[in-house]
Amino acid sequence: MAVPNWISESEDGVFAISDGSDQDIKLYDENGQRVGTVGRVGQGPGEFDNLKMATFFRDSLVGYDVGRDRLSVFDAAGGFERAVTIAKAPEASPWLLRPVDDSLFLAIATLQSGVVRDLLALLEPSGTCCISAMLDREEYLGRDPYLLQWTSIEGDARSGYVYGAVDDSLFVFDYGGTRVAAERFPNEWMPVSVKETLRQNRGRPQRPDGSWIFHGHVRPLELVALDRGRVAIQFHSYDANVGVDRVEGGTIGVMALDGGGGISALGMLEASGALLGRDSRGRPLIVGYAEGADSYAVYVLEFEAGPDTGVNGIGR
């Protein structure tokens, strides 16, 4: 199995792992045993060109194919039921979809699209109608093409709040699209923003010797919304030569709404794995290398007492 790009867990303990390399959804039980495969590479019904996300949603399993703007819906047994064309949200097809409270989808745009204005949008469960849009790209980032090229947008939503990580800051909105809070990430998580790094090099991503100024730059590369107004964000150091191996891990920070209109940092840890989803109880899941590095393990993070980390190895 290639590196998964999203993981979810059903109420009966089955893990759905979205495999963007094989273009299918792999199913595992709580003991790590493979129990099924859903979908396959292709362009027909139940097939994927570019699978970006798969998740349990209500009593179904769904997979989003960004190459065809299509959400494929499978029944509990893995049989293909129907395909839904995802609405532009609102200006362009979303780059990613995230399930929200088992009732909505959050559409995440790509920064590089010339027609995109709002970076996040909530869609009806059918995926065909935009309820609200937020995080205006020009307001928060302007039009600098290098800044847009090197900045990432991460988003998720849960329990009434939409979270968006853009450059060095976290933004929080309600489901109606109204901004309720914003805060820069602590320096120990992300020492310098993309915007400031470009400014220091007079707006150019390369130095006179041809080296990239973003080699070693730390940035948010995944975000998972939790309960009680909390959110987990993982930061990775970018390698200009080989990119980022998310499974090798990075810093995970947890932030929360503080009740007074602000956002507080609750703590951080160094994780040996990639933050890639939630379990059926809403706890964040991390995918790491198992012993021998020939299989993966899924780690469930608990923040109540430490945080403490429990291990549940699955996948191969």
pLDDT digits (tens, 9 = 90+) for 17-68: 999 889 999 999 988 899 999 999 999 999 999 999 999 999 999 999 987 8
Question: How do residues 177-203 score in pLDDT, each as one tens digit?
Answer: 999 999 999 999 999 999 999 999 999
pLDDT above 80 (res 248): yes
- Mean pLDDT (whole number) for 229-237: 95
pLDDT computed for residue 2 by the predictor: 64
Higher pLDDT, 112 or 304: 112
To the nearest whole number, what is the mean pLDDT of the chain? 89
- Mean pLDDT (whole number) for 231-237: 95
pLDDT above 60 (res 270): yes
pLDDT computed for residue 303 by the predictor: 65
pLDDT computed for residue 305 by the predictor: 44
Instruction: Annotate the chain with DSSP letters as a single string.
Output: ----SEEEE-TTSPEEEEETTTTEEEEE-TTS-EEEEE-EESSSTTEESSEEEEEEETTEEEEEETTTTEEEEE-TTS-EEEEEEPPPSSSS--SEEEEETTTEEEEE--TT-TT--EEEEEE-TTSSSEEEEEEEHHHHHTT-HHHHHH--EEEEEETTEEEEEETTEEEEEETTS-EEEEEEPPTTT-SS-HHHHHHHTTT-SB-TTS-BTTTT-EEEEEEEE-STTEEEEEEEE-BTTTB--GGG-EEEEEEEE-SSS-EEEEEEEEESSEEEEE-TTS-EEEEEE-TTSSSEEEEEEE-TTSSEEEEE----
pLDDT above 50 (res 246): yes
What's the pLDDT band for 259 if we cut at 50, 70, 90? confident
